[in-house]
Structure 1
Amino acid sequence: MCDIRIALLDMNDNHVNQGFKNISDLSEDFRKQSTENITIEKFDIRHKNEMPEIENFDIFISSGGPGTPHKEGHAWEKRYADFLDAIFEHNKNSEEKKYLFLICHSFQIASIHWKLGNICKRKSYSFGVMPIHKTDDDKQEYLFENLPNPFYGVDSRAYQFIEPDDNRFEELGMNIMALEKFRPHINLERAVMAVRFSDEIFGTQFHPEASPESMIENLKDDRNKAAMIENYGIEKYLETLDRMDDDDKILLTQSQILPRFFDFAKNNILKYRTVLA
C-alpha cells in the first residue's frame, strides 16, 4: 500500500483560528476516503519555529494567519523562504513532485518572496463572502473546473496583492487564475485572488477551506462584523447570514478546491510510484 504524507503548516502565530481547524478537517476527510495509508502531521511555523523537512512529506497545506506578510526579522521567516525555494527547486529537478497549497497569509508571503507584485495594506480590513472572478488563464484549471464564474469565497485580509509584474510572472512560468470582484464605481485596481505558481503549487488569497460554521463563529468577532458591514453594508451582512449555507456559495467552494487539490496530488503521486514499481 502506498504511503502519502501530508504536512499542515499552521501560520496563525498561536492565535485561535477557525481556518486551520477546517484545513485539518478536510485533510482528515481525505484520509478517511482514501484506500492509501495517509498520515497527517502539523507544524506550528511562526510560534514554535517548526518546519517540515520536504523529503519527509508529499503534500503541504500552508494556512492563513494574522499580521504583516512582510519580513520583520523573525527566525522562522528565513526557514519559510528556504522551504518555498526548496519545494520549487525540487520540482524542477525531480520526477517525484511535492505538492503545496498556499492560503491567504501564506499566499501573500510567497508572492512577496517570488517578487510577483505589490503586496500592500488595504485601506480597510476586508471580511465577508465575496464573488471571485476567474481569469482567462483558468480555462485549464482543474481546481476551478466545477465552479461557476464568478464563484464565492470567504475573504479575510488586511493586505492585498495588486500591480502584478507581468514580466516576472512570465519569467517564472506563473499565472494569475482569479481576481476580486469588478467594481466600476471604485477607482482601485482589482486584487489578485489566486495564482498557479507551478503545476504542483497553487495559492489563493481567499479561504477555500472556510465553512458556514466557521464564518458564523468568525462573525462573533466585532472587528469582522464591522468590516463586513463597512465593506458591504448592513443589508448585505444580513443577507450573507441568511444565505451562509447556500449550496452554490461557501459550501460549493469548500467541496471543490482543496479536495480536488488532494486528489490531483494523490493521483500524480500514485502514477509516478506505479511507474517505478
Structure 2
Amino acid sequence: MSEIKVAILDLYDGVANEGMRGFRDILERYKVKHALNLSYQVFDVRKKAQVPGLEFDAYISSGGPGSPLDSEGTEWEKKYFQLIDKLEAHNQSADPKKKHVFFVCHSFQLMCRRYGLGEIGLRRSPSFGILPVHMTADGKTEQVFDGLNEPFYTVDSRSWQVINPDMEKIGRLGMTVLALEKERPYVDLPRAMMAIRFNKYFIATQFHPEADAVGMKLLLQREDKKDEVINEHGEAKYQEMIERLEDPDKIMHTQNTIIPNFLNEAILKYQHVEVTE
C-alpha cells in the first residue's frame, strides 16, 4: 500500500495549545480505522517560517493566537500564501490527484483576508466555550458536514471574527458560506461566518473541529478560561459546558465527523482509484 502523507501547518507561533494534539489524535484513529499507511509531518509556519512542498496528499492548517491582520508582509506569511498559490495551481492542472486543504480558525481568517471576503476585526469580547453553530442551506448539503446535527456543537475560541461577508463576491468566486455563529436575538450585532468552502478542494472553519473533551476540560478548568466563560455567558452556561463535555452528541461527535469526512474526500477516494485501476 502506498504511503499517504499529511502536512499539518502549525500556526500557533510556539504558544501551548490543545489543537495540535487533536489533529494528531484524529489522524492516528483514522489511520487505524482504515488500515492506511499514513504518516504526518508538522511544519512550524509562524515561529520558523517552515512550509511543506507539494509532496503531501492532504494539508491541515491550524488555528493560532493573535491578529490575522498584523502578519501581512511577514516572511512566514509570504511563504504560507506562496504554498496556497502552488496548491491552487496544482488543483487547476490536469493532475487527477488533487490536494485538499482544511483551514481552522486563524487560518480561516487569513484566507478570508486573502480573498477579501468580509470584515475582519476584534470581537467586542472573546468567544470561548462549547457553543452551537448553525448550518446554512449550503452547509446542510456539504459532504464534510454529513452526519452533523442542526445546530451542532463545537469549540469556539476566538478574539477575532469575519463578519459582513461580501456575498456577491463569494458567489462570483464560486464559494459558499456553510455555517454561521449562534443566533443572538438579544444582541444587535452581525453573526460571524463560521465555515466556508472556498473551492472544491479548500474548506475552512472558524471553530475548532479537532477539539476533544479531554483538552477542553483542561482548558475550562483553568481559572482564566473559567472566568472568561462566566464573564461572557454566566455561571449557569459554564456548568452547562462542563456537562456538554460528557455528551457524545456534542463536541466528540463533531470531532469524529468533520475532519474524518474531510480525509475521506482528500485521501480515501484516491485510494479507491488506485485499487481499482
**TM-score interval w.r.t. the shorter chain?**
over 0.9
What displacement does 1:27 show? 1.1
- Letter of the 2:208 counterpart: H
CA contact (8 A) 1:63 1:105 kept: yes
Aligned position for 2:90: 90
Aligned position for 1:9: 9
What displacement does 1:89 show? 2.4
Aligned position for 1:101: 102
TM-score, structure 2 as length reference = 0.95
Between 45-54 and 163-172, report the one with greater CA deviation: 163-172
SS at match of 2:103: strand
Distance across 2 between alignment mates of 1:78 and 1:139: 34
Aligned position for 2:22: 22
Between 178-187 and 63-72, report the one with greater CA deviation: 63-72
- Letter of the 2:170 counterpart: F
Aligned position for 1:246: 247
Moved runs in structure 1, 4+ residues, more than 3 A?
A: 220-223, 271-275
SS at match of 2:165: coil
What displacement does 1:218 show? 1.3
- Letter of the 2:115 counterpart: W
Distance across 2 between alignment mates of 1:146 and 1:199: 19
SS at match of 1:41: strand
SS at match of 1:136: coil
Distance across 2 between alignment mates of 1:167 and 1:87: 25
Matched length: 275
Q: Confirm or deny that 1:66 pairs with 2:65.
A: yes
Aligned position for 1:126: 127
Distance across 2 between alignment mates of 1:274 and 1:243: 41
Alignment of 1:113-192 (within 5 A): 113-192=114-193
SS at match of 1:107: helix
What displacement does 1:200 show? 1.3
Q: CA RMSD in A?
A: 1.5
What displacement does 1:223 show? 3.2
TM-score, structure 1 as length reference = 0.95
Distance across 1 between alignment mates of 2:160 and 2:117: 15
Distance across 1 between alignment mates of 2:80 and 2:4: 22
Aligned-residue sequence identity (percent) comes to 40
